[in-house]
Amino acid sequence: MSQNSDRPKSDDAADLSGRRLGDFQLLRRLGRGAMAEVYLAEQCSLKRRVALKILKADHAADPTYLQRFTIEAQAAAALVHANIVQIYEVGKLDGWHYIAQEYVQGLNLREWLQRNGPPHLPQALSIMRQVAAALAKAGEHGVVHRDIKPENIMITAEGEVKVADFGLARHTRSQDGPQLTEIGITLGTPLYMSPEQVEGKPLDPRSDLYSFGVTCYQMLAGTPPFTGDTALAVAVQHVKTPPRPLTELRADLPPALCQLVHSLLEKDPRQRCPSARELLRNLRQLWNEFVPPDWQEGVVGWETVGETAPSPHAAVTEHLEGLMKTLAVDQPSRRLRYGVIAGAAAAFLLGVFLAWLTVVKRPLLADAQIASSSFPKESNVHRQWLLASKWGTAEAWQSIERYFPKKTYYVLHAKQQLALLYLQEGDYGRALNLFEQLAQATYEPIRAFGLAGWGSVLCLQGKNQESSEVLQEFWQIHGKLQNGRMKQLLEKTIQQNRSKLGSLPNSEDWDQYLRSLFKEESEEPEKTIDSP
């Protein structure tokens, strides 16, 4: 490969997938950003996959930007930590400037929140502890990230958290001069900028703590502390406006956790939590007080608690629903194929049942023991939730309201789980009753879930007109729906209602909503941990 033939000519350069740059075989493009494109690549000499970030031509042609890119990438490469995406190599090949870094499959926190909604206490503390550990490492090396936000916090299916994209990072001890620092003044994301970053003042690691505080607030409350129609409107609030108390939005959370988040959001860096190491100590105390020692053992993991993957029951339901659609669409051959489909369904159910026995690690007599006695009570609602998550039975979820009826947030979310469980088991009557209850909630994400579930059950019962009417009420708050599994069911419900009724009110609005709901998942089945 010559030095000139592959030299970038513009930001609109063709996809480089399938080509080889030195030791890297580019497999496919993972994403595109304003500054770079990211490819999944095979590092041939080491036979490992990496995320290869290739600088766009316009930036590569700017000597000042290129100098900063190289200096700061090298600084980030010195940060070796389990919770930081590792940079392997920085260089130039065939005219392309690149960073080769660790490739990790997972969702960024923004995507995770869109799929699951606000995390429960143990998950939130786990995320916060791991990010704080990464910031502590960076702070001890004098490196400021400058763009901490949900998009740059990755979560794997096992709950491992990594901070990505130190592309804006810089040494606080750097003597690079005005021409380099000026480039970075406007970099970052307005929703998460610290007051000193907004004002263009010198930054130290406490700026990252502020941005992380904004991220934590959004993660726990479901909304950022400050929003506005323009970047300037948001920036002014970061400098002048105090955030709404987190306790007003999440009364179920320990007050000490809410206070800790607000300590990160102090306008004056001198009043802020002094360091990520101090933040870690505070988080460790909260963890020891509220989280059982064995929280991440057994089946209590991120997929189970966080709903990022359907249960075996859900897989059965989805498969049988597909078979039902086949029967409904293909009427002429229905009778001839019924026996084959029924046999396939039976084999599938048997396979899932055997897989379930393999995956769920608990004593075979445990269900019988629980059925023969009342479900055990834990010392607080957080532990009760974790125990209910581990068992996943109707009695387990009912125990939340039985033992902690005043913990409204957890009671409502337990009813969500119970309604989905009844739905998966085909008990439409009980599911419908719970969905109708949830549809009366004042908390809009719960109410949206209830209305969507109510309409979906009516659809499954063949009451498509009634289903459509309920979903028109849901439309008034459709943007509040957070539960990933309900979003999937809602998509099927809309399609089925349209098939039966011919058309729906606000049909174009529904189409646009469904496209936006699943656009990212359909276009990017896999994402690099450093998506641009």
The answer, yes or no, to whether residue 291 has pLDDT greater than 60, is yes
CA distance 502 to 484: 27
CA distance 123 to 112: 12
Amino acid found at 377: K
Question: Rounded CA gap, 123 and 303, in Å?
Answer: 11
The residues near 368 (Cβ < 8 Å, ≥ 6 apart) are: none
pLDDT score of 29: 92
Distance CA 449, CA 480 (A): 8
Q: Say whether pLDDT at 436 is over 70.
A: yes
Burial class (CB in 10 A: 0-12, 13-18, 19+), 304: middle
**What are the tens digits of pLDDT across the range 234-290?**
999 999 999 999 988 887 788 999 999 999 999 999 999 999 999 999 999 999 888
CATH class of 307-319+360-523: mainly alpha
CA dihedral defined by 42, 52, 108, 159, rounded to 10 degrees? 40
Burial class (CB in 10 A: 0-12, 13-18, 19+), 99: buried
Predicted confidence at residue 13, as pLDDT, reads 55
Contacts with 417 (C-beta within 8 Å, 6 or more apart), sequence order: 388, 392, 397
Give the pLDDT confidence score for residue 35 in this predicted structure. 74
Task: Tell me which of 34-43, 185-194, 314-323 is least confident.
Answer: 314-323
Q: Quick: pLDDT tens for 195-204.
A: 999 999 999 9
Q: What fold is seen in the domain 107-290? A: Transferase(Phosphotransferase); domain 1 (1.10.510)
Note whether 434 and 419 are within 8 A (CB): yes
β-pair partners for 55: 36
CB-based contact 119:263 (threshold 8 Å): no
Predicted confidence band of residue 72 (pLDDT cuts 50, 70, 90): low
Residue with the bigger pLDDT between 320 and 93: it is 93
Residue 219's φ and ψ, nearest 5 degrees, are: -60, -40
Torsion sign, CA atoms 11, 16, 17, 22: negative
Compute CA distances 351 → 150, 312, 342, 355, 489, whole Å. Answer: 38, 10, 14, 6, 24
331: confidence class by pLDDT, cuts 50, 70, 90: very low
Question: Which residues does residue 31 pair with via DSSP β-bridges, in sequence order?
Answer: 38
Topology of the domain covering 20-102: Phosphorylase Kinase; domain 1 (3.30.200)
Rounded CA gap, 154 and 164, in Å?
Answer: 7
pLDDT in tens, 92-132: 888 888 989 998 888 899 999 988 788 888 889 999 999 99
- Of 155, 150, 292, which is closest to residue 213 (Cα–Cα)? 150
Average pLDDT, the chain: 77
Helix 312-329 vs helix 408-424: crossing angle, to nearest 10: 50
Joined together, the tokens standing for residue 398 give: 């009912």
Residue that is written with structure tokens 């406490």 in the block: 206
- Cβ within 8 Å of residue 434, ≥6 positions away: 415, 418, 419, 422, 450, 453
Place of tokens 């960076």: 138
Q: What's the N-to-C CA distance of the chain in angstroms?
A: 27
Query: Domain boundaries in the chain?
Result: 20-102, 107-290, 307-319+360-523
pLDDT in tens, 467-478: 999 999 998 988
* 321: confidence class by pLDDT, cuts 50, 70, 90: very low
Catalytic center residues: 147
Q: List the structure tokens of 182.
A: 């000026």
SS3 helix, strand, coil % of the chain, rounded to 5? 55, 10, 35
Question: Is residue 59 predicted with pLDDT exceeding 80?
Answer: no
Asked whether residue 397 carries a pLDDT value surpassing 60, the answer given is yes
Q: How far is CA 54 from CA 4, 42, 108, 312, 402, in A?
A: 17, 14, 21, 41, 56
20-102 and 107-290 have identical folds: no
